Amino acid sequence: MGAELDTRWFDLARTNQLVGILLFLTFLLINIRRAQKGGTMFIRPLAGLQALDEAIGRATEMGKSILYLPGLGDMSEVGTLASITIFGRVVRKVADLGCALDVPCYDPVVMAIMDDLARHGYAEAGRSDEYRPGTVHYVSAQQFAYVAAVTGVMLRERPAANVYMGSFYAESLFLAETGNLTGAIQIAGCDKVTQLPFFVCACDYTLMGEELFAASAYIGREPAQLATIAAQDWAKAVVAAVIVIALALSAMGHPELAQVLKTS
């Protein structure tokens, strides 16, 4: 009877997964408590995020613009929300250095929000009068009409840096390859795994999958978000250590831990 209940309510072969979930929840609660108490939250540095300042500085020195693409998602896409947070950092840096910015948008609602964020960023920098209306502008809600317009801007204007942050689809290859041909610094972050290979091949820096959200949390500095990222990093470190130990034990003729880690 007990075996039947086990089979019905819980698969014992997945005990390791339950342990992993409980361990992650423990890490999460610990880091949330640390964040609430104002403790220092270390988040691993992201090369792509650090390169944003370099790209903006290069554009300023060359007297050229920054092209920022927020992706083809609407406000229901988590990638779009992350892109908007990252854009807040970009626009503040652009306002401080005084270089040009061009933000062609696919979705009109995203455009309105990013335009307001850009105006606010210039105001925070004390340069409200330098904000150029039309910096954030609507292009088209048709996928390849948008791509045609943006690639045309790349070829005509030759921006010093192209920043792709958000949800991208089949157009990612066209955008990244065209930007690569112009010689611009390219920094990408995409939450669509199927599109990452194109960005990795054609861009100088790429935020891989969840790193897009990590970058958003890093910039936003929200305690709950930082706690989540820290908990993920702790969990990854533990998983990596357990895998290494299991492999070492298996090589020495003790496969017990490796057997425990297996799932049906």
Do residues 68 and 101 make contact, with C-beta atoms less than 8 angstroms apart?
A: yes
- H or E stretch including 101? strand 100-105
Q: Cα separation of 71 and 108, whole Å? A: 12
Backbone angles phi, psi at 216, to 5 degrees: -60, -45
For the full predicted model, state whether its pTM sits above 0.85: no
Do residues 83 and 70 make contact, with C-beta atoms less than 8 angstroms apart?
A: yes
**When comparing pLDDT for 246 and 123, which is higher?**
123
In the predicted model, what is the mean pLDDT of the chain?
Answer: 84
Tokens of 204: 């100088």
3-state secondary structure 153-174: HHHHHCCCEEEEEEECCCCHHH
What is the tens place of the pLDDT at every residue in 178-232? 999 999 999 999 888 889 999 999 999 998 877 777 776 666 666 777 777 778 7
The residue type of 61 is E
Q: Cα separation of 225 and 51, whole Å? A: 22
Domains of the chain (ranges, CATH numbers): 14-43+224-261 (no CATH), 47-219 (3.40.50)
Q: Cα separation of 87 and 227, whole Å? A: 22
Q: Cα separation of 98 and 115, whole Å? A: 17
As a whole-number percent, the residues of the chain with pLDDT over 70 amount to 86
Backbone angles phi, psi at 88, to 5 degrees: -60, -40
Do residues 158 and 184 make contact, with C-beta atoms less than 8 angstroms apart?
A: yes
Query: Checking DSSP bridges between strand 205-208 and strand 100-105, what pairing results, if any?
Result: unpaired
Q: How many CA atoms lie within 13 A of 254 on its CB side?
A: 6
Q: Cα separation of 236 and 230, whole Å? A: 10
Tokens of 42: 């270390």
What is the tens place of the pLDDT at every residue in 36-69? 777 666 666 777 777 888 888 889 888 899 999 9
Q: CA of 210: how far to CAs of 22, 40, 192, in Å?
A: 21, 22, 10
- H or E stretch including 105? strand 100-105
* DSSP, res 127: -
What is the tens place of the pLDDT at every residue in 19-38? 888 888 888 888 888 877 77
Tokens of 124: 């925070």
